[in-house]
Structure 1
Amino acid sequence: MPDETEDPRLAAQGELALARAALDAGELSDAAAYLAGALGHAPTMPEVHEVLARLRARTGDGTELFPLDRPAFVGAVVARAHLLAAGGRPDEGLELLVAATAHDPGMDWAAVPWVTDPELVTRIGPENITGVLMRLCAAVAEPAPAPQRAALAPYLLLARHAVAAYPQHALLCGAASAYARRLGETGLAVRWAQQGVAAQPSKLGEVWLGYAHRSAGHTNEALAALRRAVDHDPDDLSVYTDIAGTLADNGRLAEAMTWVERALARDPGFDCAVHTAQRLRYRRDGDVRHLIALADFQREHPDRTHEHTDLAECCRQSAWLGIVPAASESIIDVLRQLSAATEPVTAGRLRLSELEVPSAMRTLATAAPGLELLVERISAPDLRLPRRPQGRLLWRYDGTTAQPALPAPSAAAAERLRHLAQPGWPHPPAAYDAAVSLATVEVDDLLGLLLHPPRPPETPLGRALAEHDPALWHRTVQVWACLGLLHHRTDEAWESSARRELLLGLVWGVEDWITEAALFALVTAAWVDPTVRDDVAEVVAERFRDALAVARQRPSSITWSLARLAMITPGIDPKVAELARRLFPDTGPRPRRRRRGWWARLRRRLRRRR
């Protein structure tokens, strides 16, 4: 396929010039290869189709020049489709165009005259067109992204012609409705679905009608159609969950639960019902145990072919379930203000009432090396000391200045993590699975990454983090490095494993962002492996209680985060979870501390040197 920076028409013209030369020389295979390349760049360019017609005239058919190899080049697939249509086999050609659309829905594969010809539907027949539309529905997102809709529009015109030619074909009307719905044509989708149900009432027809009404915002009509679908087939439990989801999305959670419980009463293992039930239960009471049970169900039933997103929907944008929570230290607030300032602050002096965690201090020092930090006091217990003797030594202090006690990681390790790390993930098991690519990274490199984060990747997200929140990038790197440690020597029994010992050393080291990252890795282990849950729950509870004890004596910026981790730990003592919930009732982003005149005080503290 063409490079994104390349002008596709210019590239197609270059391929086309080579195709013409090869065709004139009688080198038909070469001509076909160049034509396939031209179609891959510009599938609707008239000149390409003219040369393709010349090639067909030379060979009488030409399809043998475009074999469907594995993997097949998409340009060759499209060329073969056009030749099949020209040779009187448009049904086969249309199937290949649909395959190309499934490969790249944003390309104009079907914007050619033979596809939009009203006579095509009579040559193919309603059954074939129904199959084409159903395959398109499977390949196209609902709703289709706006940039793709122009390329998908020729198939909608095909559907219009088909419904006009076969208005009483119920399956065709329903499939056309489903496709129209994906392109945002909700009024048309409702009309076609109604037409199909009127022609032949059926469960599938009512389901299509219910979906069309739901997309159009007609909630009561959608529910009525789906209930009629249940009347047609009381054993199709997927419709029960559709009704439950529709009710829940419209604030009728109690009614939704009755429908999903009806489905579970018929089949307790029906995957759609299990996923919907656990999602709605979590929505009802916010108890993470429902999500853990759902993760367990997914792990225990890997053969389920239907893709569900319920777990990811519940975890999205939730601290530690789906995202790295933002740092809450006062010096990181300073860093954010400096990033937003219209004039760069290259030097100055900042007074801190208390010493803050070393990763935060180091992040500010790296981002603003000319800024002098003056710490007024170090309250007990001393933040510079590990919380327990087995805590791993990662930082060395010169007074109040923290320096990494370990060398930087190898360039290869830094690059691998740099391209993997993201501040969000679908859910903890997905984060665990993604981190498997770090399994071969040396432990010393993973530990080095905790202290020496690589620069963010050159992506829109990476550039935004570098410019606006380098602290979040540093925290993100630490999280993924700890997840990498979780994949170290997985053949070892958990209780005596090196990975457990490494992570415990980080958990009980100097109070830091690393504490949070290591504890999240342990919590993630408990999500994916029930046999370690009792051990992890005990560690999390112990570390949280220790953080509370510290917070009673001096400020501790990580306590809220540890509370959140306690709330999502499988098998945690309910009393510990309730304590975390009572002390930190907010389950969303970390509540920011109110600071009156904060920016004015910062301006007084930051005196630019002339």
Structure 2
Amino acid sequence: MEEPRRSADRDLEQARAAIERGEMRHAADHLAGAIALAPTLPETHELLSRLAARSGGALELFPLEQNAFVGTVVARAHLLAAAGRPEDGLPLLFAASGHTPGRDWAGVPWVTEPSLGVRVEPGLLARNVMQLCTAIGDPDAGNTRSMLRPYLTVLRHAIAAHPEHALLLGAGSALARRVGEPETAVEWAQRGARARPSKLAEIWLGYAYRSAGRVGEALAALRRAVTHDPEDLSVYADIAATLADAGRMEDALAWVERALAKDPDFDCAVHTAHRLRFRADGKLSHLVALADFAADHPDDTHEHTDLAECCVNTPWLGGVPEAARGDDDPRRRPPSTEPATAVSVERLLRIARVTWPHPPAAYDAALGLVLVPPEQLMALLTDPPGSTEDERRASRVWACLGLLHHDTDEPWMTSVRRRRLVELAVGGADAITEAAMFALIAYAWVDPAARTDVTGLVTGRLMNLAGPARKNRPPIAWSVARLALATPDLRDDTRELATAVARAEEERSRPRIPRQRSRKPKRDRRLLLRWLTR
């Protein structure tokens, strides 16, 4: 927080000097920068008022152009409010909050004035709220909630002025549950459903009940939504997810099967079905099938996070697991004697993370490493950046993922990228081994034609390092077993061996990947887009 404040102070100092020189556009640029860094800083608003007084309102200094800078948009909103047009400024703040929800764009007095809720057109306010809700979590996390509460105050004032406006009540309910006020969400959704019964009203009511922990009432509302529109299969998926969360997996799967019977390729139903089937039996094949579906349907109706939810906190599926035991140093001849350059290290560190959403996402994220030559990626395997053992292991993983993006014009089986990674995977039993194996496995997730080859390689490594003939397993055995469990199309007997090895090692050290928060899918995005385009 100190650095943005110092940067904002520097912008303010230059803006003051520019005003004194009469360079109003230069001053406006620095004020936009300051307000982007510290949107509620009193000094910024005082100087903005001074600029407006010297420039006839100054609106022309903060134009709304395509891809406008967020600071420019917010400054214009405040100038409109100062000119007696707060209802015109409010949508600009909504846009800023949708762009960066964690910034306190609306934490200024004019936003919470009761008169604003009366002046703003209720339908426009409802649409602004609905668009904001698509950009934030459901419910949203921690600090962001406080940044959005001024909008809830606007809604309270607007609903008081328009107590029967169904769309405003429903949109207000959606925001209320996102900022952690489930009872308010229920009250407004109930009133909206009474004022104008509809599918959307029942969906909002169902979500509100669910956020309040009233599962039975949530299911009843969602079932009523189905009666309004039996062909909206996204509601079937929501019912299935709600039932599953309530522990009623058999009923949940029945609902999702009903949706698939109507449309086997409906994205919400497919994603939900694979996620629930995985929850029911734990078979990796469901997640691989989901990844294949997502790859074949890049234009889904909205963003889905089902695959990431299933992979989170699972070794290798969701990130590099903590080391089971042993040291991090490779016990083999280094793959490269060429030192890594500072540029290569920087490019790797821009991408390298200990966690990732799922293997296909890790593969995609490594595309930027095509700018790092293969010889440099091999050097990064020898001397990986990182301050901890797990960070260095992660750096090796990303270096190997980067190798996948070189020589991609060559057929997989005869490619240089395959040869490099196979040599790394079979040439030892250390951190380089697991890094290369994961890269091969990630490629098997994104290229079904490579799965038989990769599965054979992984099976061979597992048998060599942890098979029945092995009396003493090396420290890497647990990691290799977990890698095998992340491999598509592994034979059942091999999966059973990997499971036994992993469990035996986990009883000794219980390694895990760092916990990360799983975000709920934004399930009403598709409905919102349909509503807005009617």
Given that 1:544 and 1:563 are in contact with CA atoms closer than 8 Å, whether structure 2 keeps it comes out as yes
1:242 & 1:132 partners in 2: Cα distance? Answer: 24
1:38 & 1:435 partners in 2: Cα distance? Answer: 34
1:166 & 1:259 partners in 2: Cα distance? Answer: 37
Where structure 2 has 5 or more consecutive residues not aligned to the other structure, the ranges are: 511-534
CA 31–585 in structure 1, closer or farther in 2 if over 3 Å, else same: closer
Given that 1:193 and 1:209 are in contact with CA atoms closer than 8 Å, whether structure 2 keeps it comes out as yes
**Partner amino acid for 1:418?**
L
Q: 3-state DSSP class of the match of 2:114?
A: coil
Once the two structures are superposed, residues 199-238 of structure 1 have per-residue CA deviations (whole angstroms, 9 ceiling, x without a partner) of 1111111111111111111111111111111111111111
Q: 3-state DSSP class of the match of 1:590?
A: helix
CA 68–230 in structure 1, closer or farther in 2 if over 3 Å, else same: same
Tell me what 2:162 maps to: 166
1:278-293 residue pairs with structure 2 within 5 A? 278-293=274-289
CA 58–539 in structure 1, closer or farther in 2 if over 3 Å, else same: closer
1:264 & 1:485 partners in 2: Cα distance? Answer: 39
Q: 3-state DSSP class of the match of 1:439?
A: helix
Question: Which of structures 1 and 2 has the bigger CA Rg?
Answer: 1
1:44 & 1:323 partners in 2: Cα distance? Answer: 38
Which residue among 497, 510, 515 is the counterpart of 2:428? 510
Q: Give TM-score, length-normalised by structure 2.
A: 0.87
**Partner amino acid for 2:455?**
A
Tell me what 1:454 maps to: 385
1:256 aligns with 2:252: yes
**Partner amino acid for 1:592?**
R
CA 9–585 in structure 1, closer or farther in 2 if over 3 Å, else same: closer
**Partner amino acid for 1:67?**
P
Given that 2:123 and 2:168 are in contact with CA atoms closer than 8 Å, whether structure 1 keeps it comes out as yes
Which residue among 539, 543, 562 is the counterpart of 2:457? 539
Which residue among 432, 439, 443 is the counterpart of 2:370? 439
Post-superposition offset of 1:278: 0.5
Once the two structures are superposed, residues 10-58 of structure 1 have per-residue CA deviations (whole angstroms, 9 ceiling, x without a partner) of 4575256336524xx4x44344344434433544455654554555455
Given that 1:19 and 1:35 are in contact with CA atoms closer than 8 Å, whether structure 2 keeps it comes out as no
Tell me what 1:17 maps to: 16
1:575 aligns with 2:506: no
Tell me what 2:507 maps to: 591
Tell me what 1:374 maps to: none
1:256 & 1:576 partners in 2: Cα distance? Answer: 31
Aligned Cα root-mean-square deviation (Å): 2.7
1:537 & 1:430 partners in 2: Cα distance? Answer: 20
Tell me what 2:101 maps to: 105
CA 110–422 in structure 1, closer or farther in 2 if over 3 Å, else same: closer
1:284 & 1:214 partners in 2: Cα distance? Answer: 22
Post-superposition offset of 1:550: 7.7
2:48 & 2:5 partners in 1: Cα distance? Answer: 23
Tell me what 1:429 maps to: 360
CA 49–508 in structure 1, closer or farther in 2 if over 3 Å, else same: closer
**Partner amino acid for 1:427?**
H
Dislocated runs of 4+, deviation >6 Å: none
1:566 aligns with 2:517: no
2:477 & 2:33 partners in 1: Cα distance? Answer: 59
1:576 & 1:35 partners in 2: Cα distance? Answer: 63
Once the two structures are superposed, residues 178-218 of structure 1 have per-residue CA deviations (whole angstroms, 9 ceiling, x without a partner) of 11111111111111111111111111111111111111111
1:418 & 1:62 partners in 2: Cα distance? Answer: 43
Deviates more, 1:192-201 or 1:96-105: 96-105
1:203 aligns with 2:134: no
CA 321–33 in structure 1, closer or farther in 2 if over 3 Å, else same: closer
CA 287–15 in structure 1, closer or farther in 2 if over 3 Å, else same: same
Higher relative contact order (CA 8 A, sep 6+): 2
1:446 & 1:254 partners in 2: Cα distance? Answer: 48
Where structure 1 has 5 or more consecutive residues not aligned to the other structure, the ranges are: 333-359, 364-383, 385-393, 396-402, 457-465, 595-610
Identity across matched positions, percent: 54
Post-superposition offset of 1:516: 2.1
Post-superposition offset of 1:99: 1.6
Tell me what 2:523 maps to: none
Post-superposition offset of 1:429: 0.5
1:451 & 1:9 partners in 2: Cα distance? Answer: 42
Once the two structures are superposed, residues 245-299 of structure 1 have per-residue CA deviations (whole angstroms, 9 ceiling, x without a partner) of 1111121111111111111111110111111110111111111000000000011
**Aligned length in residues:** 510
Q: Give TM-score, length-normalised by structure 1.
A: 0.77
More helix by share: 2
2:409 & 2:78 partners in 1: Cα distance? Answer: 54
Once the two structures are superposed, residues 325-379 of structure 1 have per-residue CA deviations (whole angstroms, 9 ceiling, x without a partner) of 33334x44xxxxxxxxxxxxxxxxxxxxxxxxxxx4x38xxxxxxxxxxxxxxxx
1:560 & 1:44 partners in 2: Cα distance? Answer: 52
1:77 aligns with 2:73: yes
Given that 2:103 and 2:147 are in contact with CA atoms closer than 8 Å, whether structure 1 keeps it comes out as yes
Once the two structures are superposed, residues 444-496 of structure 1 have per-residue CA deviations (whole angstroms, 9 ceiling, x without a partner) of 3222322322243xxxxxxxxx3xxx2x2332222222212222211111111
